Structure 1
């Protein structure tokens, strides 16, 4: 049981009472590795779209109120101490990002127990690893039920191609969802995701009645001492020698990728010092599990006085999971996808004074009290083949589902 209070603008939970403080090892993506075994929760903010207000502003205000001022990210990072407040986990759903972008309300969420914003403050303390129960409940994961059929997925892709032909969009990312019932404790299954090869943002964030497990390879935005970085990923092939050669030679994948790199350049330019946006490692091939993916690095120097709220408004939701132009793509997404994106395609990571490191929640799963949920999709352009795009989405989610099942 948690102790908390609600207002019209936000839902705060915490600090936890001493008797209910979770005594578990913190495994938030991008948290300082040396601190993960010695952190306890100090305070928590949870917010849903129905609460009203601006989630970006609420997050910045809540952090400042608990000794983590992020209103000027150009300041040098504070010297890290092993006492007091360490930093905070920050999670922002795709729906909250769409709200920040002024997009239409997406479809109903398949896992409404999850908040749209969670900010969890952690301080250094003594964390106790609980002894495993003598007979832990058996883990069982049922069959996955898709929110749409392959034919419906392909029809949505054709709708995007029609919109591209009209000139409404250049590219739209289309995402599908699936759910599976489970029995037992979902946390060990979600924690396994962080060990998948290439999971740059591997980790878990939990709340009352929900949990998110992440295996994302993609940096949504990283800020260190006023230096901005985003690493968009777009373009996928099997992790074989032939797959790598095919990805590098694909004009379609390269055009799709560069389109999103340009979008990310524009996003950073809104919050960067004039003339500082650059692109490094354009279309570099990296590996995630059994897939090759194309990744680029976009860098910039933050504009004077850039704060966390403006950073989130400029970068959320991520361009690689929306499309170009972003608002037009989001409008199409809200019309085509049958359910909301939940924990998928949002932001999750760690923040502290002078440092922000948020992963894009692709390759991510979430648990509510009854089901596990996954999301996967891909960018659609005029040259997209619906059958191939449906197969690509399945290839992205296969390692996630196998890992959750314990294979």
Structure 2
């Protein structure tokens, strides 16, 4: 991890947070950063957004990046040569609430980690010498018991409420998410960094700010832009990573129907920003492993429309369809009504942006820290065929590896 002093961070920040500063403030291992640059990055500028700041955060993020040498107003243009003395790229984080606002939907319950921004952009350059790394401390880390935002009965009741809404014809599918928090002592950053080593964590890494930190172990691509192509890889369908579990997932009509519904939603999202007629499904219902679970993943791609900018891209794909439901806006209404705690750092976007390359992961399997608590989230997509008890068990199975890793097990 690269360490940035408080003095340096304040000098390069355009709009910093006013929250607590009890967490060490340092630049860490950003998900999807270029492999060849990843351990030599230093922060050059930072912008954070909260609703009180006003304006369109996607537009403001694009303007901030352009002002710092990263023009992303036309994603169809090929990247120029990589300047070792210029900006390398930037970390981009967009919360689920910010994504809902970009889509024109309700933002839901309050963020349980109020020091977290809703959008963060951190511009990086290359160090002239290799920055020192910070080793994980040998002792001093303690994580308390998890306090759930709802009981299993309340979670199951939310599943039933979604099934009732589907029965009325309000929606076809809604993703419902629960939250838990645990107090800690010690430095949370090594614990959050451990998430990136979990098997299948395509977007493993961390991002930090004053009074907050995010650790990600996500396997899911929200959107990637490379060589003029838009790519998304929605994940829907989960079973234990055993031979019978794989066979059951492949044979499940319920899981396949739920999956195809979200693939269709993602096709529609990409069609809004793609060259006409270019959207295609490259792979459908491929079963891949994340930790001790099998999950079904598809790949949808399209050709970038001329003149597409980062702000337009974020408006089209945020929040991700696999963590909202279909239709997306109607699903957001039900999410806001049913979930007692905000989604915070989860179910949003986190990754890397630079001219010629965008790679944003969907922040599932993600944890966040504020001054004294760690936060985790987990849930699943609900359809007419969902069993409430099975959905509660599935959410617990998704959360278990994250909680164990944070505890150091």
TM > 0.5 between the two?
A: yes
Q: TM-score, normalised to structure 1's length?
A: 0.94
Gaps of 5+ in 1: 15-20
Residue by residue over 1:150-170, the C-alpha shift from the partner in whole angstroms, topping out at 9 and shown as x without a partner, is 000000000000000000000
Alpha-carbon distance, 1:52 to partner: 1.1
Identify the residue that residue 243 of structure 1 maps to in structure 2: 245
Q: Measured at CA, do residues 22 and 33 of structure 1 come closer, stay the same or move farther in structure 2, by a change above 3 Å?
A: farther
SS of equivalent to 2:37:
helix
Alpha-carbon distance, 1:130 to partner: 4.9
Contact conserved, 1:93 with 1:116, CA < 8 A, in 2? yes
Q: Measured at CA, do residues 183 and 296 of structure 1 come closer, stay the same or move farther in structure 2, by a change above 3 Å?
A: same
Q: Measured at CA, do residues 203 and 264 of structure 1 come closer, stay the same or move farther in structure 2, by a change above 3 Å?
A: same
Identify the residue that residue 71 of structure 2 maps to in structure 1: 69
Contact conserved, 1:205 with 1:211, CA < 8 A, in 2? yes
Identify the residue that residue 54 of structure 1 maps to in structure 2: 56
Whether 1:253 and 2:255 are equivalent positions in the alignment is: yes
Contact conserved, 1:286 with 1:294, CA < 8 A, in 2? yes
Identify the residue that residue 399 of structure 1 maps to in structure 2: 401
SS of equivalent to 1:34:
coil
Whether 1:390 and 2:397 are equivalent positions in the alignment is: no
Alpha-carbon distance, 1:4 to partner: 6.5
Contact conserved, 2:25 with 2:210, CA < 8 A, in 1? no
Identify the residue that residue 129 of structure 1 maps to in structure 2: 132
In 2, Cα distance between equivalents of 1:185 and 1:249: 45
Residue by residue over 1:277-297, the C-alpha shift from the partner in whole angstroms, topping out at 9 and shown as x without a partner, is 000110000000000000000
Residue by residue over 1:301-358, the C-alpha shift from the partner in whole angstroms, topping out at 9 and shown as x without a partner, is 0111000000000000000000000000000000000010000000000000011100
Work out the number of aligned pairs and report it: 395
Gaps of 5+ in 2: 1-5, 18-23
Q: TM-score, normalised to structure 2's length?
A: 0.94
SS of equivalent to 1:110:
coil
What pairs with 1:7-406 in structure 2 (closer than 5 Å)?
12-13=15-16, 26-125=28-127, 126-130=129-133, 138-406=140-408
In 1, Cα distance between equivalents of 2:244 and 2:84: 48
> Where in structure 1 do 4 or more consecutive aligned residues deviate above 4 Å?
21-24, 130-133
In 1, Cα distance between equivalents of 2:80 and 2:355: 6
In 2, Cα distance between equivalents of 1:193 and 1:71: 33
In 1, Cα distance between equivalents of 2:48 and 2:270: 27
Contact conserved, 2:40 with 2:130, CA < 8 A, in 1? yes
Q: Measured at CA, do residues 362 and 23 of structure 1 come closer, stay the same or move farther in structure 2, by a change above 3 Å?
A: closer
RMSD: 1.7
